[in-house]
Structure 1
Amino acid sequence: MEAANQARIDVAEAKMKGEIGSKLRAGRTQQNAAKVDAETKIIATQRQGDGKKEEIKVMTEVKIYENHREAEVAEANADLAKKKAGWSMEAQVAEVEATKAVSLRDAELQIEVERMNALTTTEKLKAQLLSKASVQEANWELYRKQKAAEAILYEKEREAEAKKAAADAAFYSRQQVADGEFYAKRKEAEGLVAVAQAQGVYLRTLLDALGGNYAALRDYLMINGGLYREIAKINSDAVQGLQPKISIWTNGKGGVRNDGAGEGNAMEEVAGVYKMLPPLFKTVQEQTGMLPPPWMGSLTDSGNSNMK
């Protein structure tokens, strides 16, 4: 029984605790909800206030901008009005100045016309007064020009006569010079002819003296003219400074045959001639600088004169 009672007590306590906890949770939920609602209302009110402030601020800035623009427009209108007034004044001044300028120009032109009329009248009077004097002066000028022309013509005639005389004198002088040159050339030609004739007589006399021997006459003329002396001089100049080398060589056999038969062997003679060629070519090379043709062989650089 006690256990059952205790169980019922525990159940009742548990139920009571559950209901209390449920009530506590419900109360806390309501409290939290009320708190959230209050905070939400506060935030909403703040947001509305901030929005209102921003709206007022924007409207204020817009109004300020509109006022500024209106001031600028008013200032521009005032400047335009001032400029229009200045332009109107300048136009009026220009119109007045133009009118005055036209009047002044009209007066100046009138004065110029009067002056020209006065000058024209003066010139007419001068022409009338000086017409007779002008005719006389023109006649005098014509007379003076005629006399000047006659004087110039006289001077030209005298100048032409002087030039003609000078030309005649120059022609005569050139003719005399040409005659002198022609005479000199003729005398020179006559002298050459005389010399040629004298030389012909001289050669004929020599040829007759030599009995008509042309070879003897040629030799005599060459000797008399010093031709052989010139030839000897040229030859001596040609060999001057040369140092000829004289070489003497033998074949080393003394003319004895290998078999003791003497000089009757023709092959030994040919061999002797062939052995004589190297020293001969060597001597020619030393004295003249000329080498034998390739088909005859070539000289070596050794001390003895051999041919390859």
Structure 2
Amino acid sequence: MKGEIGAKLRDGETKQNAAKIDAETFIVSTNRQGEGKKEEVRVNTEVKIFQNQREAEVVEATTVLAKKKAGWSQTARLAEVEAEKAVAIREAELQMEVEKKKAFVETAKLKAELLTKATVEYDIKVQEANSELYKRQKEAEAALFESQKKAEAQRANADAELYARQQAANSELYAKQKEAEGVATIGKAQAIYLGSILKELNHNYPALRDYLMINNGIYQEIANTNAQAVQGMQPKISIWSGSNSTESNGGEGGSGLKDVAGLYRMLPPLLETVHEQTGMQPPAWLATLPDHK
């Protein structure tokens, strides 16, 4: 019994080991096959890539060759065209040179003809201009001589007129000087006269002022002006006489004081008349009229 079990155990272990070995072998075989396929695919890929690269290089080389052929053809054609155009340009340049030579010859000929004609005309015009210039110079010299003579005559007239004006001015200045001397003499005389009156009035300046106003007719002018203002108003008429002013008064201090005294005698009735006719009172410094009721 134990022998059978042991045999079965060994047989089972053998089968298990065999199965295990088969599995491992299958795995290893499969791995080997996968690696082989991978290597095959890699090799095929590299071969394909190499083939594509070679084909691209061939295409590129073919394209470059075609471009070079086209460039060579274009260069050859351009060379032919340039050669043709160069020939045409050279022909045109030569034709232009010929035309220039012809034009130069024609121009030189025309210039010679025109220059000869212009020279003749210029000589004629120069002669005419010289003749006209000489004529104008003579006319200008004659006009200048006449102007100089007129200027000399005007200068002489101006000198004579200036001398006459100077003489008239000197005469007028002399007359003004004499007139000024006369005015100065009159002023001095008036100053002496006023000084003597002021001395007779014992240097009473208000009395001197009154005397001058009366003597110069200031009050009479005031009375006339006021009378004209009230003309047609039937004013009162006062008649007075200054006969007493002519009486001899030896005690009043000489002839100058006598005249002043006479004027003062005439003053009251004059001021009263002015007051009656115009209603104006005399200034307080001069006199005071009595009240009329």
> How does the TM-score come out when normalised to structure 2?
0.54
How far apart in 2 are the matches of 1:23 and 1:110?
A: 126
Residues 200/22 of structure 1: CA separation in 2 closer, same or farther (3 Å cut): same
Residues 26/202 of structure 1: CA separation in 2 closer, same or farther (3 Å cut): closer
Residues 196/43 of structure 1: CA separation in 2 closer, same or farther (3 Å cut): same
Matches within 5 A, 1:24-173: 24-110=23-109, 112-113=111-112, 149=141, 153-154=145-146, 156-173=148-165
Unaligned runs of 5+ in 1: 128-133, 211-215, 227-308
Determine helix, strand or coil for the equivalent of 1:46. helix
Residues 38/96 of structure 1: CA separation in 2 closer, same or farther (3 Å cut): same
* Residue identity in the other structure for 1:198: Q
Deviation for aligned residue 1:168: 0.8
How far apart in 1 are the matches of 2:47 and 2:37?
A: 15
Q: Match for residue 19 of structure 1?
A: 18
How far apart in 2 are the matches of 1:28 and 1:151?
A: 149
How far apart in 1 are the matches of 2:134 and 2:26?
A: 155
Q: Match for residue 185 of structure 2?
A: 193
1:203 paired with 2:195, answer yes
1:221 paired with 2:220, answer no
How far apart in 2 are the matches of 1:101 and 1:42?
A: 85
Deviation for aligned residue 1:161: 1.9
Residues 10/48 of structure 1: CA separation in 2 closer, same or farther (3 Å cut): same
How far apart in 2 are the matches of 1:49 and 1:167?
A: 136
* Residue identity in the other structure for 1:199: A
Q: Match for residue 220 of structure 2?
A: none
How far apart in 1 are the matches of 2:91 and 2:183?
A: 120
1:31-80 Cα deviation digits (max 9, x unpaired) = 44134313421342233123212320232134213422442353244334
Residues 13/156 of structure 1: CA separation in 2 closer, same or farther (3 Å cut): closer
Residues 178/74 of structure 1: CA separation in 2 closer, same or farther (3 Å cut): farther
How far apart in 1 are the matches of 2:167 and 2:104?
A: 86
1:183 paired with 2:182, answer no
> How does the TM-score come out when normalised to structure 1?
0.52
Aligned Cα root-mean-square deviation (Å): 3.9
Deviation for aligned residue 1:174: 4.0
How far apart in 2 are the matches of 1:200 and 1:160?
A: 59
* Residue identity in the other structure for 2:84: A
Residues 191/20 of structure 1: CA separation in 2 closer, same or farther (3 Å cut): closer
How far apart in 2 are the matches of 1:36 and 1:158?
A: 145
How far apart in 1 are the matches of 2:12 and 2:148?
A: 177
Structure 1: which 4+ aligned runs deviate by more than 6 Å?
117-120, 141-148
- Tell me the number of residue pairs that the alignment of Structure 1 and Structure 2 aligns: 204
- Structure possessing the higher relative contact order (Cα contacts under 8 Å, 6 or more residues apart): 2
Report percent identity of matched pairs: 6
Matches within 5 A, 1:242-257: none
How far apart in 2 are the matches of 1:192 and 1:119?
A: 91
How far apart in 2 are the matches of 1:63 and 1:166?
A: 120
Residues 116/184 of structure 1: CA separation in 2 closer, same or farther (3 Å cut): closer
Deviation for aligned residue 1:98: 0.9
